[in-house]
Structure 1
Amino acid sequence: MRCRSNSLGALLRIRSEATGAIHSFFKDNGYTHIHTPIITSNDCEGAGEVFQVEPPKEAGEPGENPHFFNVPAFLTVSGQLHLEVMAGAFTKVYAFGPTFRADNSQSRKHLAEFYMVEAELAFVESLQDIMQVMEDLFKRVTDMVLSKCSRDVELFHKHVAPGQEAKLEKMLTNQFITMSYTEAIEVLKQAHEVFTYKPEWGHDLQSEHERYLVKHCGEIPVFIFNYPYDLKPFYMRDNEEDVHHTVAAVDLLVPGVGELCGGSLREDRLDFLQSRLRRLGLEDTYQWYLELRHFGSTPHGGFGMGFERYLRCILGVENIKDVIPFPRFPHSCIL
């Protein structure tokens, strides 16, 4: 009966319009929509929080491979690596579909199944180009949602999150701010605020740090770029000439949510990529990924945006479980 309530009814109409607006944005900008697989043999982020896929066990022949696909298979955490394959043929590609995390968390920010918007662009050599697409996507889609669903959005801004309308207007009318990770750490160290986690260069930004940085920037979305090399996955481009050892990665932080988008330039240099995978013991697993570079690659990059996080941001909804029709989280998969 939940979908018959005013708030969820309005939410689902907004969600539908936002979905159409996202497809419209990419179509109008020359992107090809790719259906990336839900079942995959790779863990893109390397975090290990994946659901393994296996059919019911049956008695097989002695010596028979125990895996249905001959290798361990998982529900996808990201379509990025598959999009990188396609970007070599279509230049600008995107995917929009379900992704999964086996993260045993009951927090208001986590779901086991959620939707991701991911884009990959070939012939890109600057993080600024990636950031511009993120900003344009956010503003264009939000403008379309406000135009098509004004009454539904008004319900949230009046009755669920009073004051959210003014905050959203500020996000849409101001250019997003950019700040390096190193600058961000300095801002946090100089803050007259007691953090649970002490900000240190080389450590991940925590939720409390993200909230403070957005507040410091006047509640305007802020891009944090050039993260420490050891914090990020293997596919991010090494900033070899940086005094600090960093990678060309960027996160977009927004009011009320924290990280909304994450992206990077991809490592297109075979020797750099091979060296890093070898150190991580992943060279055999990602041999196909190395071959993309070995047989001809281009400078490229991309990003992902959590769709439910986006809805939380524009509507002011606190709990991510309230912006998806059938939330999946630990100990809850009712129907």
Structure 2
Amino acid sequence: MYNTLIRHLNFFNKTGRCLRYFSCRIENVKDLQETDNKIKIKHISLDKVGSNLTVKGWVQNIRKMKKDIFFDIDDGSTCKKFQVIIPKSEKKLHVGQSIEAQGLLQINPKNELELKASSVKILGNCNISDGVYPFTPKQVPDPEYVRSYLHIRTHVNFMRSVFRIRHHFIKIIHDFMYENDFIQISTPILTTNDCEGGGEIFLVKPNCRTLLENMKKQGIPIEESYFDKKTFLSVSGQLHLEAMCHGLGDTYTLTPAFRAENSKSPLHLSEFYMFEAELAFCDHIEILTNFIEKMIKTVTERLTSICEEDILNCRSALGLNNINEQLKYLEQDFKIMDYSETLRILAENREKFKTELDPEGGLSKEQELLLVELMQSPIFIINWPKTMKPFYMRIVDNDPFKVSGVDLLMPKVGELVGGSLRENDYETLKERLPVGLEWYLELRKYGSIPTGGFGLGLERFLQLITGIKNIRDVINFPRYPHSCKM
């Protein structure tokens, strides 16, 4: 008893010292912040007029008057312009420089907030040997031109807006899944399976012949000697997500996915981000479509509320209409129709599209967009021919030639979401199972449950929201055929 008491006293004594230490550290940080007085531009508001502030950022535009120099500064926190004024003899400023300005916050004759700087410090010079800065102030550069400066395209106003929108989307969709009791799973990027079965996969192996030779086992090709089998970059985390779902319930992941397609399409990338979810005890396609619709609408409403200025900035830079027209689908129920019904509608409107109507080959992008236009609504297409879809999709009740797959078609981007109910019958799945996926079949052997799931392309969703036509402009570092810069 005595020894136990002594241990407790020692613990509280040490804890007290730790608390006092951390308390001092916190106070020191607070003191530093108060002394620094630096503020993000997005947080500058009317209640701070008359205060001395410090702002840091990049010079965007310069206007020289008789006595003063006026320049706009951007720190990446907002698309709003913020003006700083300094005496003309103070500094030689150039567009692109990073600076620190200290001074008094005031309101100008246009009723806008501005900083009358008492001092300006250049933090990073914009060294231009040929005298030309890549991005001309007051002009919106062509997106293809901006892409040639991948490493500095965050110097362009509308690109900064894109990446802020992307940041907020990721936060919002994580919050939505948390609110709906889904568990986040980190699915692997290295895998031995081709989930979709299309063969559009990147092979992974060490770039060291000596290492492979040292690791080689008898009967194993040298190219496979690291993992003892062929290994690929993942095209989807779905199968791994299903494995976790069979013990944790509702699960989701947001991870990179890779497709080795020789596509120059403005809607395709070699590396992109896929949001995928798996719903436990999901045995009807309506459960799946209802959840997808609820998620799309909720996330869109929250994103457009938080990022309204950035979204409008993107659309304005591209000369597009206001966002309300683009997002009118939020106010209506999404339509649901069978794949066979979409073929009938397209056949009746054959003169309105150029691509061939191939019932066994699926829908072209042109046909997807036409369907959305004709229906004046997003469309869930369900009950697809079994021959067109992957092995894991559940056979439709009373129709052995169809599977419970679902594609969501949206304005401007076409297919945004693809999913299905998963085949839960052991014998049926066994007949369709690809070689090497015995573990997947075993999920149906030990306490199996009905599940359904889907994948949503993050970049396509951002195209839908911003109106940006080329998918390469909504991802930080685009990878596509013949291009893997940086």
Q: TM-score, normalized by length of structure 1? A: 0.94
From the two aligned structures, give the one with the greater strand fraction.
2
Deviations along 1:125-165, whole A, 9 cap, x unmatched?
Answer: 11111111111111111111112111101112333252251
Deviation >4 Å, runs of 4+ = none
**Alpha-carbon contact 1:164-1:316 (below 8 Å) kept:** no
Instruction: Choose from 295, 309, 327 the match for 1:151.
Output: 309
Structure 2 residue matching 1:162: 3-state secondary structure: coil
User: How far 1:111 moved relative to its partner?
Assistant: 0.7
**Alpha-carbon contact 1:161-1:316 (below 8 Å) kept:** no
Instruction: Choose from 91, 95, 99 the match for 2:257.
Output: 99
Instruction: Choose from 36, 39, 46 the match for 2:190.
Output: 39
Query: What is the CA–CA distance in structure 1 between the aligned matches of 2:355 and 2:404, rounded to whole Å?
Result: 25
Question: In the alignment, what sits opposite 1:239?
Answer: 396
Compared CA separation, residues 164 and 113, structure 1 to 2 (3 A): farther
Query: What is the CA–CA distance in structure 2 between the aligned matches of 1:167 and 1:222, rounded to whole Å?
Result: 18
**Following superposition of structure 1 onto structure 2, how do residues 216-295 of structure 1 map, counting pairs within 5 Å?**
216-218=374-376, 220-242=377-399, 245-277=401-433, 282=434, 284-295=435-446
Does structure 1 residue 319 correspond to structure 2 residue 476?
no
User: How far 1:240 moved relative to its partner?
Assistant: 4.3
Query: What is the CA–CA distance in structure 2 between the aligned matches of 1:153 and 1:31, rounded to whole Å?
Result: 28
**Alpha-carbon contact 2:158-2:317 (below 8 Å) kept:** no
Query: What is the CA–CA distance in structure 1 between the aligned matches of 2:409 and 2:325, rounded to whole Å?
Result: 14
Structure 1 residue matching 2:320: 3-state secondary structure: coil
Compared CA separation, residues 252 and 62, structure 1 to 2 (3 A): closer
**Following superposition of structure 1 onto structure 2, how do residues 34-183 of structure 1 map, counting pairs within 5 Å?**
34-56=185-207, 57-58=209-210, 59-60=213-214, 63=218, 65=220, 66=222, 67=224, 68-163=226-321, 165-183=323-341
Structure 1 residue matching 2:428: 3-state secondary structure: helix
- State the number of aligned residues: 328
Structure 2 residue runs of 5 or longer lacking an equivalent are 1-151
Query: What is the CA–CA distance in structure 2 between the aligned matches of 1:137 and 1:166, rounded to whole Å?
Result: 19
User: How far 1:172 moved relative to its partner?
Assistant: 1.1
User: How far 1:194 moved relative to its partner?
Assistant: 4.8
Question: In the alignment, what sits opposite 2:102?
Answer: none
Compared CA separation, residues 164 and 176, structure 1 to 2 (3 A): farther
Question: In the alignment, what sits opposite 1:296?
Answer: 447
Structure 1 residue runs of 5 or longer lacking an equivalent are none
Query: What is the CA–CA distance in structure 2 between the aligned matches of 1:62 and 1:138, rounded to whole Å?
Result: 49
Question: In the alignment, what sits opposite 2:126?
Answer: none
Structure 1 residue matching 2:424: 3-state secondary structure: coil
Instruction: Choose from 152, 168, 179 the match for 1:28.
Output: 179
> Greater CA deviation, 4-13 or 200-209?
200-209
User: How far 1:195 moved relative to its partner?
Assistant: 3.5
Query: What is the CA–CA distance in structure 1 between the aligned matches of 2:289 and 2:430, rounded to whole Å?
Result: 27
Compared CA separation, residues 27 and 189, structure 1 to 2 (3 A): same
User: How far 1:98 moved relative to its partner?
Assistant: 0.6
**Alpha-carbon contact 2:312-2:322 (below 8 Å) kept:** no
> Greater CA deviation, 198-207 or 2-11?
198-207
The structure with higher relative contact order (CA 8 Å, sep 6+) is: 1
Whichever of the two has the greater Rg, that structure is 2
User: How far 1:120 moved relative to its partner?
Assistant: 0.2
Compared CA separation, residues 271 and 150, structure 1 to 2 (3 A): same
